[in-house]
Amino acid sequence: MLSEAKFKTVAHWAQDLSEADRDLARRNMSEKLLPKGAYLLHENDHVDAWFGVIDGLLKICVVAENGEAITLTGISSSGWVGEGSVIKNEPRRYDVVALRDTRIALLNGRTFRWLMDNSPPFNKFLVRQLNERLGQFIAFLGYGRLLDPTERLARSVAWLFNPILSPNNQLQLGISQEEIGLISGMSRQTASKALRQLQAEGLLRLQHGRIEILDLDGLGQYGSTL
């Protein structure tokens, strides 16, 4: 069972649940520590659990038939991933990798589905979560086809601070330039150049192993209008 402090940190969706449902969720939530580079999931794994990031950073990716790894998105602190696979109770369609030492909360699938069937506030959260995730992946599809590297990186960084998908991020995030590159699907060198450009334009501030957002709307709308 997760501690009360960690539960409050990661399970932001539980604040609107009844006291009994919050207690049920916490009692059926466990914790796992992933070292940097470790896989939380491989494609085709059948793991009946929903995953939240207590602290750290995850990368969701797939591998093409030619062996090329394609990054879909990053999941930072307070973000949750995998609700679709739990709802459908099906194998995962992606890999999930820790980009640094990352502490994960796991809610078992049986409890997840019970809350989905019995808790209107939990259902309301799921609708928002799935709608936002759908919008994210539609946007990312357009980014890859229409935006240059700086524009694509700006939009990718903005999604890490999305108030629905990662509500506990306070416009600062411990993340290296290499990690930003991995999440944005580009080399560290290309990411570094793009980040310096965005810093020069006053949209963010780079610190050692950390990024501070100065203009979240500007990052989210950087470049071509999509």
State pLDDT tens for residues 13-46: 999 999 999 999 999 999 999 999 999 999 899 9
pLDDT, residue 103, reads: 96
The reply to whether 85 and 161 lie within a common domain is no
pLDDT at residue 224 above 90?
no
The reply to whether 22 and 120 lie within a common domain is yes
| Contact of 73 with 159, CB cutoff 8 Å | yes
* Structure-token match 């997760």, residue found: 2
* Structure-token match 């501070």, residue found: 212
The dihedral through the CA atoms of 201, 179, 131, 152 has a sign that is positive
The reply to whether 107 and 171 lie within a common domain is no
Tens digits of per-residue pLDDT, 107-162?
Answer: 999 999 999 999 999 999 999 999 998 887 777 666 666 678 899 899 889 888 88
Number of domains in the chain: 2
| Contact of 161 with 171, CB cutoff 8 Å | yes
Terminal Cα distance for the chain, rounded: 43
| CA–CA dist 190, 196 (Å, integer) | 10
The reply to whether 90 and 165 lie within a common domain is no
pLDDT at residue 225 above 60?
no
The reply to whether 20 and 101 lie within a common domain is yes
Q: Percentage of the chain surpassing pLDDT 90?
A: 54
Task: Tally the C-alpha atoms within 13 A of residue 155's C-alpha that lie toward its C-beta.
Answer: 25
Stronger pLDDT, 198 or 148, i.e. the higher one: 198
Contacts 24+ apart (CB under 8 A), 207-216: 209/174, 209/175, 209/176, 210/172, 210/173, 210/174, 210/175, 211/157, 211/172, 211/173, 211/175, 211/180, 212/171, 212/172, 213/157, 213/158, 213/161, 213/171, 213/172, 216/158, 216/161, 216/171
Question: Across the chain, how many H-helices and E-strands are there?
Answer: 9, 11
Domain hosting 194: range is 147-220
* CATH number where 56 lies: 2.60.120.10
The reply to whether 120 and 151 lie within a common domain is no
